[in-house]
Amino acid sequence: MLVLGIETSCDETGIAVYDSERGLLADSVYSQVDIHAQFGGVIPELASRDHIRKTLPLIRQVIADAGIAGSDIEGVAYTAGPGLIGALLVGASIGRSLAMGWDVPAIGVHHMEGHLLAPMLEDEPPEFPFVALLVSGGHTQLVRVEGIGRYHVLGESLDDAAGEAFDKVGKMLDLPYPGGPHVAKLAQQGSRGRFRFPRPMTNRPGLDFSFSGLKTFVRNTIVEHSEDGGLDEQTRADIAWAFEDAVVSTLAIKCRRALEHTGLQSLIIAGGVSANQHLREVLEANLRKVNGRLFYAKPSLCTDNGAMIAYAGCQRLLAGQVEDLPITAQPRWNLESLPAIA
């Protein structure tokens, strides 16, 4: 089945064509980062307006890149939530309308299910069941995954998401938006061991996370070490490293617990923060010790993209699920409420 995927939940317009027989045929992402960078965060109204400008031209381009015609498309998948409601409605309206015009089924996809299934697009996909660590700008969740739509959330962040903490620390360190990749880059110059930041909620049982206290710890450290001209370059890098290390260690401790708790040996990591190299290295080393296996997608499929939506939608369409005619999008949407597919 040939499926067009449309992702517009936040500040990236992601379009892809996925074929259940041949795999990913074309995939393109237009990032709005330059528009939002000047404000230090995503401005929802500007995001919606830019999706309106970019979505249709990008669909035309991706269909051409895939070497197909629009009339070849057999199903349309669009992100229906969670995300910014105006941005979601752009993708949902265009996706639903194209499907109606082409007379093919359409399906609204849960954004985090898209992330969760992105490693399935790699050459050696994981097999169910597995534990998934979802770490994006809006979510931090540990999920036991039995199959598509068979999700049990084991733990989640009680406050900031991991990516959000990276972005806020990036701002404190005067790095461009979004901070995550910039903090990671700066951390590479940091000296290990100069600072040690707390690993929140790891000394009590449970699989929930909290990153807001860590953020405050970073702020206090910055204030303490700032001279008149701010932080010196090495101290900035040392703080970035200590912060990244604290987040990575915290995530790793909870992942180990989740694997012990479920008795499973496969861990997948997904969402923007799963592109983080330090996180991958630490988890890989930990899993090797217990004969487990780590799975992740290539970096371009970790952050928001249309390919993950096309893939997830394709699985649901193949199982016979379709969206009714009304165009709906949900800014908040519980992952566990999704229907299972056999």
> Which residues are near ligand KG4 by CB under 6 A?
10, 115, 136-138, 163, 166-167, 178-181, 184, 271-273, 275-276, 303-304
With tokens 């979004």, the residue in question is 178
CB of 178 to ligand KG4, least distance (A): 4
Prior bond of 176 cis (ω within 30°): no
CB of 44 to ligand KG4, least distance (A): 14
CB of 7 to ligand KG4, least distance (A): 9
CA distance 327 to 306: 19
CA distance 317 to 106: 8
CA distance 111 to 78: 9
155, interface contact from ligand KG4, Zn ion, none, CB < 5-8 Å by kind: none
Q: Which is nearer to ligand KG4, 26 or 187 (by Cβ)? A: 187
Number of Cβ within 10 Å of residue 63's Cβ equals 20
Q: Which is nearer to Zn ion, 78 or 197 (by Cβ)? A: 78
Q: Which is nearer to Zn ion, 136 or 157 (by Cβ)? A: 136
Q: Which is nearer to ligand KG4, 304 or 323 (by Cβ)? A: 304
Q: Which is nearer to ligand KG4, 167 or 238 (by Cβ)? A: 167
CB of 243 to ligand KG4, least distance (A): 10
CB of 208 to Zn ion, least distance (A): 20
Beta bridge partners of 140: 135
CB of 311 to Zn ion, least distance (A): 14
Pairing between β-strand 12-19 and β-strand 23-31 as defined by DSSP bridges = antiparallel
CB of 270 to Zn ion, least distance (A): 9
Provide the phi-psi class of 197: left if phi over 0, else alpha when psi is between -120 and 50, else beta. beta
283, interface contact from ligand KG4, Zn ion, none, CB < 5-8 Å by kind: none
113, interface contact from ligand KG4, Zn ion, none, CB < 5-8 Å by kind: none
CB of 184 to ligand KG4, least distance (A): 4
275, interface contact from ligand KG4, Zn ion, none, CB < 5-8 Å by kind: ligand KG4
Phi, psi of 232 (to 5 degrees): -75, 160
Q: Going along the chain, which residue ranges are E strands? A: 2-7, 12-19, 23-31, 75-81, 106-110, 130-135, 140-147, 150-156, 266-270, 293-296
CA distance 107 to 113: 13
**Residue 113, interface with Zn ion (CB under 5 A)?**
no
Number of Cβ within 10 Å of residue 54's Cβ equals 18
Residue from 304, 309, 315, 335 touching Zn ion (CB under 5 A): that is 304
With tokens 């912060």, the residue in question is 243
DSSP one-letter string for 16-44: EEEETTTEEEEEEEEE-HHHHHTTTS--H
184, interface contact from ligand KG4, Zn ion, none, CB < 5-8 Å by kind: ligand KG4
With tokens 């952050």, the residue in question is 303
Amino acid letter, residue 50 = D
136 is written with which tokens?
Answer: 């994006």
How many residues sit close enough to Zn ion to count as binding (CB under 5 A)? 2
CA distance 268 to 317: 24
Pairing between β-strand 12-19 and β-strand 2-7 as defined by DSSP bridges = antiparallel
Q: Which is nearer to Zn ion, 84 or 314 (by Cβ)? A: 84
Number of Cβ within 10 Å of residue 128's Cβ equals 11
CB of 219 to ligand KG4, least distance (A): 18
Which positions from 116 to 155 touch Zn ion by CB under 5 A, shown as an x/- string?
A: --------------------x-------------------
Q: Which is nearer to ligand KG4, 167 or 323 (by Cβ)? A: 167
Q: Which is nearer to ligand KG4, 85 or 319 (by Cβ)? A: 85
Q: Which residues bind Zn ion (CB under 5 A)?
A: 136, 304
